[in-house]
Homo-oligomer: A and B are copies of this chain.
Amino acid sequence: MQWVKVLGLGLGAAALLGLGIILGHFAIPKGADAPAPSTSVLQDLDLELLKAVMGQLDARKIRESLWELSRQPHLASSPRDEALVQLLLSRWRDSESGLDSAERTEYEVLLSFPSQEQPNLVEVVGPTGDILHTYHPNEENVTGEQGGPDVVQPYAAYAPPGTPQGLLVYAYQGKEEDFRELQEQGINLEGTIALTRYGGAGRGDKAVNAAKYGVAGVLVYTDPMDVNDGQSLPSQTFPNSWGLPPSGVERGSYYKYFGDPVTPYLPAHHSSFRVDHSNASGFPPIPAQPIGFQDAKDLLCNLNGTLAPSAWQGALGCEYRLGPGFRSSGSLPDGSQVKMSVYNRLELRNSSNVLGIIRGAVEPDRYVLYGNHRDSWIHGAVDPSSGTAVLLEISRVLGTLLKKGTWRPRRSIVFASWGAEEFGLIGSTEFTEEFFSKLQERTVAYINVDVAVMANATLRVLGTPPVQSVVFSATKEIDSPGPSGLSIYDNWKRHFNRSSPVYGTVPSLGSLGAGSDYAPFIHFLGISSVDMTYTYDRSKTSARIYPTYHTAFDTFDYMEKFLDPGFSSHQAVAQTAGNVLLRLSDSLFLPLNVSDYSEVLHSFLRAAQQELGNLLQQHNISLGPLVTAVEKFAVAASALDQHVSAQRKGSPDPLQVRMFNDQLMLLERAFLNSRAFPEERYYSHVLWAPHSSSVATFPGLANAYYRAKDTDAGSEAWAEVQRQLSIVVAALEGATATLRPVAEL
């Protein structure tokens, strides 16, 4: 009975609170509720305004913001990270250049840090058990910015603590096949320490693969061949070039999934249910530690055993051998072992997103999202502050127009500064979990600019097909930095292009993996997304990423001296992203070209027919229904696109515009199936889920196919191939149904 009383009181209080809130709500007039001026209901994108905005995006302002953002390390949940939350709030609440509103949302998430007291160590232990050598626990303080308490030592986030010790082996990139190769070479991996290098496999995968073979601990280094085009001398590297210094170490998350590891599918509020840390899946099974190539060289060049395959060789200036152990002729005594001491700790920390909103004048319930993460490993001038500086410049220019009263977008614009991305896209994922329905119903697209500039050669874009056209429109209007005189579009096309059966040679968009905060939006929510960055000329360098990635050498000076002097590339990215943002928010008809999905579907289908077709046929699995589904989709999509262009020329009714736009906006949603591959946490998009094979085709089908490949006819695995085929066919048919005239089935 007591509960009733308690509730009674609760209700009474709540009723009052409710009344108060309701009164407050109605007392404060909201522009969203005042009728939009009917003149603007059918207004299309204002090209003059667009041009004006392009002109106001200022390289110097971007430079100033970048300096402020990157002058101190701002690791997720650190005091400086909080200071930047305040910086963003103040910018977005500025009376002259701010937005309609700005607020923070805070989550309590599980992060991983090295111990302050006991730094992680890598040591050589002699046959008699005494420590012969201890490697650098930290990067060398080359520019005065690599030291101090705020510079987190190199570590493998989420790798478990432990002090494994054993003979060293060299396992190349730590791929499954690399360890198999060692085993086939007759090397007993049980209890060994595996030295691997970045690239080839995901960070965490190296440890997962190693553990399968009994390896006790994993070291990871960056080979100069992979980022420095072979250059490894101090004189050849930062601060003398953009190259990675010998002591530089790439930090990173070794967690397999994304989002807060202990609140899958639930927003990580204080009261949310949390999986017991020991039951949490996706953490590396064994200790791991990244090291610099100067230390890797000392280990690798002393290895014993057979010569590693030529593909495994690198630029450390010696022959790479496989081990196990060190050779007597080297500088490390025969029989000595490597000892790793990892003291990483899991900690629940508060991490915040900052959201800034410009309310739409006509369709406030349609959102164009634009975001980047805020947290960095150290100073993060490139990653992510170059993107945040661009974000701040775009919001400054639009905020200024807004405060002047000269402009308000048709749709709402939501700017986001995500927390704890480096640990696994945590802030953005929690946001999509908290506002799942609201975002799925209303979001037009998500624009992500993380590393805005890692070099000054060309734009690079990842995205889903519907955004291709709007990115093309934007980039054709903007000059690329530098003397070329080319548009960003033409310059981009020189570096990344493909031959399209529909358009001829065009710049090629890459597909969206899980490399940044767009992942939960495209894979979990089915929201059309785009990611852009300015990058280098792949004909001039073979670097797999900019050399100082995730190191203490990613600083403002590094950016200004070696990546983007004058910040013209930053400006170019701001103009491109800003242009895309305005087109999405202000165009009467959404500039999403759904028929561009047909090209991808045809190529996926072609690949499936060529790569999987014969064996499928042998197992009496017909791709016929898939062929039909793709064709029907192509017909419906092109009919809708033509329909929209016809409408554009006519005098459409506002509700009809909305109707067509809803079809365009929601197409991506129709490809979601949360039951398609539940084992792939969050991945629900049947066209973009991860798949093991290199064949660019339907992921569920491909995964099932390669699992079934070597099993007998009639196996469960072949049944799963059938099921995955039906899943993708059903998704395509369901999507096609949403594209047809709305009063038809």
Contacts and interface: CB of A to CB of B under 8 A. Distances in A.
A35 B442 contact: no
A536 to B, nearest CB: 35
Interface size class of A (residues with CB under 8 A): 35 or more
Interface stretch (A360-368, A398-406, A464-472, A512-520): A360-368
A687 to B, nearest CB: 14
Interface stretch (A185-193, A213-221, A647-655): A647-655
Nearest to A657: B655
Interface string A13-35: 01001100110011000101101
A301 B656 CA distance: 70
Closest 6 CB pairs of A and B: A365-B742, A273-B726, A437-B670, A359-B743, A18-B635, A3-B609
Interface in A608-631: 609-610, 613, 622, 624-625, 627, 631
Interface centre among A362, A658, A675, A742 (most CB of B within 10 A): A742
A273 B723 contact: yes
Interface centre among A30, A365, A639, A723 (most CB of B within 10 A): A365
Nearest to A647: B33
A734 B434 contact: yes
Contacts of A101: 744
B36 A646 contact: no
A745 B666 contact: no
Interface in A1-56: 3-4, 6-7, 10-11, 14, 17-18, 21-22, 25-26, 30, 32-33, 35-36, 38, 41
A606 B675 contact: no
A656 to B, nearest CB: 7
A743 to B, nearest CB: 4
Nearest to A435: B737
Contacts of A622: 271
A365 B662 contact: yes
A438 interface: yes
Contacts of A663: 365
Interface in A583-623: 602, 605-606, 609-610, 613, 622
A719 B41 contact: no
Given A265-B675, A655-B363, A22 B638 contact: yes
B35 A656 contact: yes
Contacts of A733: 267, 434
Contact of A639 (B25, B627, B743): B25
A266 B622 CA distance: 17
A730 B272 contact: yes
Contacts of A610: 3-4
Nearest to A653: B35
A280 interface: no
23 contacts: A4-B606, A7-B627, A14-B634, A18-B634, A22-B635, A22-B639, A30-B741, A30-B743, A36-B656, A41-B655, A267-B733, A273-B725, A363-B655, A364-B742, A365-B743, A433-B730, A434-B733, A435-B734, A437-B669, A438-B670, A441-B669, A655-B658, A658-B658
A143 interface: no
B744 A653 contact: no
A344 interface: no
B266 A653 contact: no
A659 interface: yes
B635 A35 contact: no
Given A22-B638, A271-B622, A613 B3 contact: yes
B364 A35 contact: no
Contact of A743 (B263, B272, B357, B606): B357
Given A22-B635, A26-B646, A669-B441, A364 B659 contact: yes
A742 B635 CA distance: 35
A533 interface: no
Given A41-B655, A635-B22, A734-B434, A643 B741 contact: no
A412 interface: yes
A17 B635 contact: yes
B357 A36 contact: no
Given A364-B742, A658-B658, A735 B437 contact: yes
A4 to B, nearest CB: 7
Nearest to A610: B3
Contact of A605 (B7, B634, B658, B734): B7
A698 to B, nearest CB: 14
A652 B364 contact: no
A642 interface: yes
B602 A11 contact: yes
A269 B733 CA distance: 11
B25 A606 contact: no
B654 A654 contact: yes
Contacts of A263: 726
A436 B25 CA distance: 36
A737 B609 contact: no
A103 interface: yes
A741 B33 contact: yes
Contacts of A613: 3
A6 B609 contact: yes
Nearest to A733: B434
A23 to B, nearest CB: 10
A428 to B, nearest CB: 14
A426 to B, nearest CB: 17
Contact of A742 (B11, B32, B265): B32
Contacts of A7: 605-606, 609, 627
Contacts of A653: 35-36, 38, 41
A72 interface: no
A738 interface: yes
B662 A627 contact: no
B17 A266 contact: no
Contacts of A362: 655
A332 interface: no
Contacts of A30: 741, 743
A286 B734 CA distance: 38
Contacts of A35: 651-653, 656
A304 interface: no
A742 B32 CA distance: 8
A355 interface: yes
Contacts of A730: 266-267, 272, 433-434
Interface string A490-503: 00000000000000
A327 to B, nearest CB: 50
Nearest to A38: B653
A105 interface: yes
Nearest to A742: B365
A276 interface: yes
